[in-house]
Structure 1
Amino acid sequence: MSDKISNSKKWKKSLYVLPVLLILAMIFVPIIDKQWGDTLRPELKNFAVEYPDKVNKIFLSNKTSDSSNLTLVKNEQGKWMVNGTEPAEQDAVKMLLYEYMARLQVRNPIPKDGASEVLRYMAANGTKVIVYIDDEPVKVYYVGSNTADEMATHMMMEGSSAPFAVQIPGFNGYPGVIYRLDKKSWLSRNIFQTDVLDLANITVKYSDKADASFEISKADRQLNIKPMAGSPELPEASMNLDLLKQYAATFENMSYEYFFTGLAKKLADSVIHADQPFVTISVQNNKGETRTLDIYKKPVTKDSPQVDNYGNPATFDLDRFYGVLNGNKAEVVSVQSFVFKNVLLNYADFFSQPAS
């Protein structure tokens, strides 16, 4: 615990030292060669990460951000974690490293007459970036404002007094956008990620259809389904085992779309605090770990379908639902209908219907 407190103090201290360093840099700008290049060591112009596969930590800090710092850490299993505690979206971190940070390239030096303004912005609003290999810093640089054409970002290596306009070849935009401190943007969007071999049980409970609710369990590698308490069981001989297997496999990879924010979040809050979920889905693995999703009907908006498949006026948004993960109503996610359409089945759907 003392190490964490000590590290936290160090980072906070560095945020206050940054403006001083950059102000000193502005003082010495006039004595640097006008194109910087002849006076700088090569490593002070090389922003690209040379060995992205060996990177095990990325630290970002910005005193103007709601979250002053963020750390992406690779754990012992090789999985990236946000602040060391929550799973990151693995593809997003890999893209950050391989597609962006490994390809950073100096487009041009900043002329002396514009450097002071660039450094002043960095001192007030800059983001500090530290890249680690084996827990040792290999790249430390500052990210500032974007160029006027919005195709490059002003950056400066620690230990240098010369900012550069830095680009990513082939990237239609400015590199500054990749250094996000918003934790939610890095979190894994997985709701359920349980392999059938690791599955213990699945429960699907509808609030207004007790006879449609069911529980799937696994014993001796065999899947079984039964209705929730109070509903009659259907004959096992008529059970569609293939459908049951397909259904269980669906939970190997199911994700939400995004977090609701702003006015959309306020509307979502008004719904989830006033209503009960129309369905609750829980998945438990063999370790006893359970993930739960409460799904709420989202009101119809001008952007959602106005009629259902039968031509009747839609009573709720047919494309998206509100989702609450593990009972945490402080955060509401968007759940897409096309992702969950094969999950929102009734108990009777798993059984062959007698011919009429």
Structure 2
Amino acid sequence: MNKTKIVYIILILAALVAAVLVWNNRYLTTLKGESADFAIRDTASISRVFIANMDADEVLIERKGNQWILNGEHKAQQRKVDQLLETMYRIRVRNPVPVASHDQVVTRMASLGIKVEVYQQVYRINLFEKIKLFPHEKLTKVYYVGDVTKDNMGTYMLKEGADQAFILHIPGFRGFVMTRYTPIEDDWRDHVIFDDKLADIKSVELEFNEQPIMSFLIENTGKHSYKLTRTADQFDVAYDTLRVLNFLTAFNDVRFESILTNILPRARQDSIINSPFLHRFTLTTHSGKTTQLTTYNMKLNVEHLGISEEDADLDNDRMYGLLDNGKDLVLLQYFTFDKLLRPVIYYEEGGPAM
């Protein structure tokens, strides 16, 4: 091989290396640019998150002290919020969307994507993270969440105002993150019905509609002192202290299984609510807050069984519940409520075991 050929080969290799370096530099620049900056380093500073789709579904999750409030009305599930914050912290760009499919991905995102707005508490003066003055809320990130990639390991995302879309993932996590950005309110609702501490409870009344003789009222009359009233005849009875205390402390964490308000047809909900109720809990705290829960019989799935509702047996595992705002019909498990549905005789002094 003569020297001229060797020189040509060296020049060609040098050109290829230069091209690779230029491409790699542009690639890295793209990944490090503002359009690829999705992750949030300080999730503790996030004050609220707004998530919406093109079907007018939207949620606003706001930090209020030590809890998160959903759409200004409901308590949000802490587990779901923690998962979202973790996602915002850990997501990384896997790679830009390939040119061949980029326009199609962006077009689908424009019609089916989910918009995410992140607000954070920032400081007008922040010296080396040591001296922080004049805090205020600022909209720090806006991006759109699209479909899942074909390998189900990434999610398409696009920063607002950017031209380049990216595939995002969580390193080490097998799956996609799209579902963590749900704009459906029911997905974020906390399932707690009662979360009252013993010291906060002023009274609890339990009504048995079909057997009123079983109904009762427990009232706090002083420090470590209670009164048990059989409400059918308004008779005060001597009570078993341990059983009464166990009953009241159980209201520290009582939850429903799922929300049915946006699942069951309105006519079906009205039929349930207008039927005779089973039980009614009314809990009042010393601060004046009253929480009421009304339960109703639930029939086995008549559509699945192919029979009429009149012929269907009662579901022995679940029942319906109407929360005190009168707007939310929920699904309850007897497993959760059995310990709360004992009659007054159980709490009377010398009452039978159940």
TM superposition score normalised by structure 2: 0.79
2:143 matches 1:153: no
Q: Which residue of structure 1 lines up, in the alignment, with residue 59 of structure 2? A: 70
The number of equivalent residue pairs is 307
Q: Tell me, yes or no, if the aligned pair for 1:128 and 1:141 is still in contact at 8 Å.
A: yes
Q: Which residue of structure 1 lines up, in the alignment, with residue 8 of structure 2? A: none
Provide Cα deviations, 1:117-155, integer angstroms capped at 9, x if missing partner: 111112222222121111212222111121112221101
Tell me how far 1:264 sits from its aligned partner. 4.7
Partner SS for 1:84: coil
1:80 to 39, 58, 68: 68
Partner SS for 1:115: helix
Root-mean-square deviation (CA), in Å?
2.6
Tell me how far 1:233 sits from its aligned partner. 4.1
The structure with the greater share of residues assigned to strand is: 2
Over the matched positions of the two proteins, sequence identity in percent amounts to 25
**Is the alpha carbon distance of 1:185 and 1:348 closer, same or farther for their aligned partners in structure 2, counting shifts above 3 Å?**
same
Q: Tell me, yes or no, if the aligned pair for 1:96 and 1:178 is still in contact at 8 Å.
A: yes
1:223 to 216, 221, 226: 226
Give ranges in structure 2 of 5+ residues lacking alignment: 1-22, 122-136, 305-311
Tell me how far 1:65 sits from its aligned partner. 2.2
Q: Take 1:241 and 1:335, find their aligned partners in 2: how far apart are those partners?
A: 28
2:290 matches 1:290: yes
Note the 1:176-325 alignment, pairs <5 A. 176-221=178-223, 222-230=225-233, 232-234=235-237, 236=238, 239-260=239-260, 264-265=264-265, 269=269, 271-301=271-301, 315-325=313-323
1:61 to 48, 52, 57: 52
Q: Take 1:40 and 1:246, find their aligned partners in 2: how far apart are those partners?
A: 58
Identify the range of structure 1 (341-350 vs 147-156) with the bigger mean alpha-carbon deviation.
147-156
Note the 1:101-180 alignment, pairs <5 A. 101-134=88-121, 135-180=137-182
Letter in 2 for 1:54: S
Q: Take 1:302 and 1:181, find their aligned partners in 2: how far apart are those partners?
A: 31
Letter in 2 for 1:157: K
**Is the alpha carbon distance of 1:171 and 1:303 closer, same or farther for their aligned partners in structure 2, counting shifts above 3 Å?**
farther
**Is the alpha carbon distance of 1:78 and 1:352 closer, same or farther for their aligned partners in structure 2, counting shifts above 3 Å?**
closer
2:317 matches 1:346: no
Letter in 2 for 1:73: E
Letter in 2 for 1:333: V
Q: Which residue of structure 1 lines up, in the alignment, with residue 17 of structure 2? A: none
Partner SS for 1:133: strand
Q: Tell me, yes or no, if the aligned pair for 1:36 and 1:162 is still in contact at 8 Å.
A: no
**Is the alpha carbon distance of 1:354 and 1:37 closer, same or farther for their aligned partners in structure 2, counting shifts above 3 Å?**
closer
Partner SS for 2:167: strand
Q: Take 1:197 and 1:89, find their aligned partners in 2: how far apart are those partners?
A: 24
Q: Take 1:274 and 1:294, find their aligned partners in 2: how far apart are those partners?
A: 12
**Is the alpha carbon distance of 1:353 and 1:220 closer, same or farther for their aligned partners in structure 2, counting shifts above 3 Å?**
closer
Between structure 1 and structure 2, the one with the greater Rg is 2
Tell me how far 1:170 sits from its aligned partner. 3.8
Q: Take 1:86 and 1:352, find their aligned partners in 2: how far apart are those partners?
A: 40
Provide Cα deviations, 1:298-317, integer angstroms capped at 9, x if missing partner: 1134899xxxxxxxxx9521
Q: Which residue of structure 2 lines up, in the alignment, with residue 334 of structure 1? A: 331
Q: Which residue of structure 2 lines up, in the alignment, with residue 10 of structure 1? A: none
Tell me how far 1:61 sits from its aligned partner. 2.4
TM superposition score normalised by structure 1: 0.79
Q: Tell me, yes or no, if the aligned pair for 1:265 and 1:332 is still in contact at 8 Å.
A: no
